[in-house]
Every structure is written in structure tokens, then in C-alpha cells.
């Protein structure tokens, strides 16, 4: 599920600051390669016995990703449900409580990056 109108798409920052801000909010930089990275926030839905991940994609605008000075721009944010043995299902319904937490995290991230 893509989350529209987050205010994040297109924001730019250097890798060091982006890593610092996302870590403060509980995100982890998981997948990364030379030109892109993903920041994931894990959420557990105890009522539905499921795990969801809020994911924000970032792409390199200039520099190399391993450099703290690389400039990245953010893309869409989306939510996926964890599947066994690994992977995310982006088409499954998202509980309202998980969606609410996701929107709060994205608003916090947008605020911290705007400062």
C-alpha cells in the first residue's frame, strides 16, 4: 500500500543526517546498493497476529551511498505485511491502527527533515 501525500517525496538530505533522523524515529536502513536505500519501521499488529513494515525509499542524487556526504532524495512511502519465510505483501489490507502509526511516523520524519 502506497501512502500518498506524506510531504516526503522529493525531500533531499545527506546520508549521515538521514540515517541519524531515521534511527531516532526507530527506522532501520536495510536494503541498500550503490544508488538506493530503504528505511524500514517495524510494527506489530497483535490483534491480527501480523507484522507490518513502513518503508521509505531513497535514491542517490549525488555522491556514492557509502559516503556520509551523499545526497539522497526520498520517494514514496509504503506499507507491507511480512510473509513467511521472507518478503512483504504490499496488497494485503492494513489495519487502521497500523496506518495511524505509519502516518504519525511519516509526519515526524517530514518535520525533522524540514528543520
For the cut 80, the answer to whether the pLDDT of residue 5 exceeds it is no
For the cut 80, the answer to whether the pLDDT of residue 92 exceeds it is yes
- Give the pLDDT mean for 22-41: 91
Task: Report angle CA 18, 27, 75 to the nearest 5 degrees.
Answer: 60
pLDDT band at 86 (very low <50, low <70, confident <90, very high): confident
pLDDT band at 41 (very low <50, low <70, confident <90, very high): very high
Query: In Å, what is the CA distance from 73 to each residue of 11, 23, 76, 95, 113?
Result: 5, 17, 10, 29, 11
C-alpha cell at 96: 487502521
Looking at residue 1, its pLDDT comes to 82
- Pair 80, 89: CB distance under 8 Å: yes
**Coil, helix or strand at residue 87:** coil
Alpha helical stretches, state H, 25-95: none
d(CA 52, CA 14): 27
Looking at residue 65, its pLDDT comes to 85
pTM: 0.90
d(CA 60, CA 77): 16
- 85 versus 108: the higher-pLDDT residue is 108
Amino acid at each position: 500500500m502506497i501512502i500518498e501525500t506524506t510531504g516526503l517525496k522529493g525531500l533531499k538530505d545527506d546520508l549521515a543526517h538521514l540515517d541519524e533522523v531515521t534511527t531516532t524515529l526507530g527506522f532501520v536502513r536495510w536494503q541498500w546498493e550503490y544508488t538506493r536505500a530503504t528505511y524500514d519501521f517495524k510494527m506489530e499488529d497483535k490483534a491480527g497476529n501480523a507484522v507490518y513494515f513502513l518503508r521509505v525509499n531513497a535514491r542517490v542524487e549525488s555522491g556514492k551511498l557509502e559516503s556520509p556526504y551523499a545526497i539522497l532524495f526520498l520517494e514514496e512511502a509504503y506499507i507491507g505485511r511480512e510473509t513467511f519465510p521472507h518478503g512483504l505483501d504490499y496488497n494485503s489490507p492494513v489495519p487502521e491502527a497500523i496506518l495511524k502509526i505509519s502516518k504519525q511516523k511519516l509526519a515526524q520524519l517530514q518535520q525533522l527533515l524540514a528543520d
